[in-house]
Amino acid sequence: MNFKHKYMFLLPGLLVLLAILIFPIGFTVRLSLSSWDSFYPGLDFIGLENYVRLFTDDSRFWEAFGRLSLLSLTTVFLQYIIGFSLALLVWKEIRFQRLFRVLFLIPMMTTPVIMTVVWRTVFHESLGPVNDFFSLFGMQPLWLSSEILSKFTVILVEVWQWTPFMFLLLLAGLLSLPKEPYLAASIDGAGPVRTFVYVTFPLMAPISIGAIIIRLIEASKIMDTVYVLTSGGPGTSTETSSFYIFIKGLREFQFGYSAALSITYLIIMIISFTVIAKILVKLMVRGE
């Protein structure tokens, strides 16, 4: 095909994306080398001072990062297990199959931040239905204001919201699997468990890896839920990296420092995702 036409197709999108993005990224790098804050706004040059502060004198950032790892790995693990189970349950014949499929998809269509506002009323410690139930047993768990339970609540809301995404990707994968391996397995007399372990799971490995990576990327941005549900509290017990950068940047207006946080965070993320993808490929494909 003619050589020039391909650019006519590609460039409009690519240039628009570059035009909108190149300033923000370049500016963030430059900003991270300045001391711009609400007292002294302006792009002065202070070298790597912000980065030195970050690596030597900011345990709160690293704690937030650890918390983010804990929250996102836990939620994605749960979403994978539950999403895969649900997909398997409605994959083959089951009554009301289409109704269940629609129901299982619905949470991902809802606005996380709005559903979190609703969840907050559900878990309200004196007026919500959850504690209404627990009060039957004389308990009043502090879903939003105790250090451990607030993490649990955030995980529960995230699992409710995003398990459907995992379910969708895995069910679409299951529905596209070839029939022949299953015929072979049934001829060999394999039961449902052996069929799953030796046929379904290995065939689904590439799709599983893709789905887990996509969900990890999205889960690492967790922000809305935390903002509405707990505002990072109590104390800093549900504060994640995004939320900490938000506080430094858009609450305390330390633009320079928060830019350094952002850049460091991005670099860590890109490295982690690469490593995680490699590990997943090793773990899941080994069985073949």
Closer CB to other proteins, residue 228 or residue 237?
A: 228
Closer CB to other proteins, residue 85 or residue 147?
A: 85
Distance CA 27, CA 259 (A): 9
The values of phi and psi at residue 101, to 5°, are: -60, -45
Smallest separation (angstroms) from other proteins to the CB of 111: 4
Residues 6 or more apart in contact with residue 167 via CB below 8 angstroms: 82, 83, 86, 87, 104, 105
Smallest separation (angstroms) from other proteins to the CB of 226: 11
Residues 6 or more apart in contact with residue 70 via CB below 8 angstroms: 151
Smallest separation (angstroms) from other proteins to the CB of 266: 6
Question: Token pair 């627990």 is at which residue?
Answer: 134
Closer CB to other proteins, residue 32 or residue 237?
A: 32
Strand, helix or coil for residue 122:
helix
Smallest separation (angstroms) from other proteins to the CB of 203: 13
Query: Alpha helix locations (H) across 2-96?
Result: 5-31, 49-56, 59-89
Cα dihedral: 108, 109, 111, 115 (round 10): -70
Smallest separation (angstroms) from other proteins to the CB of 137: 15
Smallest separation (angstroms) from other proteins to the CB of 212: 14
Smallest separation (angstroms) from other proteins to the CB of 150: 16
Closer CB to other proteins, residue 61 or residue 104?
A: 104
Number of Cβ atoms within 10 Å of the Cβ of 117: 12
171, 98 contact by CB (below 8 A): no
Number of Cβ atoms within 10 Å of the Cβ of 82: 16
User: How close are the terminal C-alpha atoms of the chain, in Å?
Assistant: 40
Closer CB to other proteins, residue 36 or residue 237?
A: 36
Packing angle, helices 255-285 and 201-219, rounded to 10: 170
Closer CB to other proteins, residue 181 or residue 210?
A: 210
